[in-house]
Each structure stands twice: as C-alpha cells, then as structure tokens.
Amino acid sequence: MPKKSFKIFGSILLALIFTGAAFYGGTRYGLSLKSSSQVPPNELLEADFSLFWDAVNLIKNRYFDAKEVKDEDLLYGAIEGTVRALNDPYSSFFNPSDAKKFDQDISGSFGGIGAEIGIKNNQLLIITPLKGNPAEAVGLKSGDKILKIDDTFTTDLSVDEAVKLIRGEPDTEVKLFILRNGWEEAKEFKIVRKVIVVPTLDWEMKPGKIAYFELQNFNANASSLFYQAAFATLLEGADGMVLDLRNNPGGFLDVAVNLAGWFLDRGDIVVKERFYSGEEKIFRANGNGALKDLPVVILVNGGSASAAEILAGALRDNRGVKIIGEKTFGKGTVQEIENLKDGSTLKISIAAWLTPDGHEIEKKGLEPDVEVKLIEEDVEKGKDSQFEKAIEVLSQEIE
C-alpha cells in the first residue's frame, strides 16, 4: 500500500511554531478582564505598596541619570517584574512597541527554525523540532537544552523573549548553544532561518490491516485531513490503529475535541478547564464516533504536548486506550491575551487543563502505560522500538 501524505505548508504564528503551544491550543484573544478590574487594587493586594512608591521616589530624586529615565519605562518595568513573579513561562507582558511588532509578526511572513520551545524545570529547551524544517535538518532533538541564543544566555528568559531572539528574516543565521543529555559539554548549532513548513498528517495502512496515523500537530487543517484519512481507513477495513502523537506540540483545542469525537461516544468528557475560582468548563465529544469500536494504541514522547496530551488523556480515561512510549511534556494551561488601554498587551495563564479523570497535565504530563525509550543506536539504525511495541500491544487487543 503506497503511503498517503497530507501536509499543509505556510507561515505560523511567531517564528518557532507554537512557542510552547502558547498561541495554539489555548490562547484566547481580547477576553474581558472586567471581573478583576472592578475590584479596587487595595482590596486585591495585601502587601504594603507604599514600599513601591518609596522606591520610585528614590529613583526619581537620587538616581544619577534620572532625567533619561521615562516614567513609562518605570511603569512597564514594574509590570514586567510583576508578571515574572508568577514564575509562569507562558505569561508575558509586551510594552506598546513590542505589542505592535508582535501584531505585525503574526500577520506577516517571517523566518524561524521550525521548532517548538518551552521551559521545564527553569530550563529553556526544545520541545519538538518540526519535520522538514531547519531545526530538524541540523540535528536538534526533543529535550535539547538551549543555553545561549547568539550572545544571549537563556537564564531567566521567558519563552516569548527567546522567540524574539530566535526569529528573524528568512535566510539569516542564528546560533544556538545546546546541551543534550549524555553530552559532557554544549555544542554550537548554526541554523539558517527559513519560512516554516508545517506538517500535519501522514498515514498509511500497515500489514495486518493496521492503520498508522502520524498526527504532527492540531492546526486548522487537521480536522479535514483527519476526516479524509479516517474515511479511507474505514473503507479499507482497518482492524486497528496506531495513533502516533510523538513530537506533536499541540494546536487548537477545538481540533483536539473534534478529533476525540471520532473515537468517543457523544457526551464523553474530552477535557476540563479549571479556573482560579475553582469553576470548571467541560468540553465534551460531539462527533460521529465512527472509530469508537476500533482498537487503538497511542504513541507519545517528551515532545508530545498540549492538545496532543489532551487527546491521549481523553482516549485513555474514556476507553482505556494504552499509551506507549515516554512521558509527555506537560503543557496544560490556557492563555488569555488582553490588549491594554495604552497599546500594551498582557498574556496571562487563566486556566489549567485536566483529563476527564481529573489528572492535571501542566508540569506533570502523561505517564505511558508501557514505557519504551528510544535508544540512540536503534535510531541510527532506523529501528523504532516504540512503534514495534505499539504493534505488539495492538495485535494482542485485536486478537
């Protein structure tokens, strides 16, 4: 059976693709913050903020170069510091000039390396290098630690700040200093930025009537491409499916819910959003359930994040679908982007994702039911022990 390949090509928000799934799979633009702003600041905060004004007074009256410091810079610096105090890599503040550049970037064409980056245990790292893009071409791998971007050390950098450094004009070069598990010292990778190629879905029918779906992200095209592939799979009479979500950095939440509807009964819980207040919003399957009786196993690794974790968790909690491979990344929060009155922008995490059984995804990820780690020697030989185990487990379920 010849391999079927469905792909979508184009530019993606920011230069790195998803950037920690912050702009796909959970970001909301322009949502109101009125419920918070109606509460006077002195009732929201218990700290003595006269200390802040004392510090400002000292700066304005005693700093040797105070005349060169704009009041707006003091204000924006204070807000940036407040957001940093959250210790959340996905919450950021953009002053008006940065916010304007951000808007221009997401509406235009730009260069990147084709990798999702994130922060885990206070370390900036590669979550997933996207297939067919510069990051993969130079040999970057999921889990690689980014120590330096050109001449800037990444300590204390937010995801958005790192993105700002890495993106740039197509055909220009960026240098990343990478430390990989097992290496004694960091190595320099020179990467030429390109307009990013975004893979979506590859599928083929394996021996034994096993459908193999390699879903590479949950972008806006994934639902229609999955429909075509699933329809063809049903026509060919597949006896089982391997759903490969390895190195899938996530995507639109509604796409994950849509795809879950192929495998679940209508009304089954796909994911929950839990807010600061304790209130929960529940997303339920509302699809055709055409694959709900088909035996399925799921492949994941440390590059599986966000919407990929949602879909995997939903199928395991509802159907007992086995997850095979390595622990997932653990990106499970929803970001809201609010445009402030002076043109600045605040991006803030407003909710956490939970699987149907209540498992928190953020920082915890999903533990596989069957752990199989890829050995470097096997990879070099083209051997995929995780896929082989998936076929073994699926075959037992089919019997």
CA atoms within 13 A on the CB side of 185: 2
User: Rounded to an integer, what distance in angstroms lies between the CA atom of residue 22 and that of residue 121?
Assistant: 17
> Which alpha helices (H) appear in 108-209, and where do they start and end?
134-137, 159-166
Catalytic residues: 306, 317, 331
Q: Report d(CA 113, CA 125) in Å as an integer.
A: 14
Euclidean distance between CA atoms 294 and 373, whole angstroms = 26
Cβ(25)–Cβ(253) under 8 Å?
yes
Helix (H, G, I), strand (E, B) or coil at 261: helix
Residue 239 burial by Cβ neighbours in a 10 Å radius (0-12, 13-18, 19+): middle
- The answer to whether the CB of 264 falls within 8 A of the CB of 233 is no
Alpha-carbon distance of 22 to 123, in angstroms, equals: 17
Residue 97 φ/ψ, nearest 5 degrees? -70, -40
Instruction: Sort strands 333-339 and 322-325 into parallel, antiparallel or unpaired.
Output: unpaired
Judging by DSSP bridges, how do beta strands 92-94 and 345-354 pair with one another? Answer: antiparallel
Which position has the token pair 């974790």? Answer: 309
Q: Residue type for 318, please?
A: N
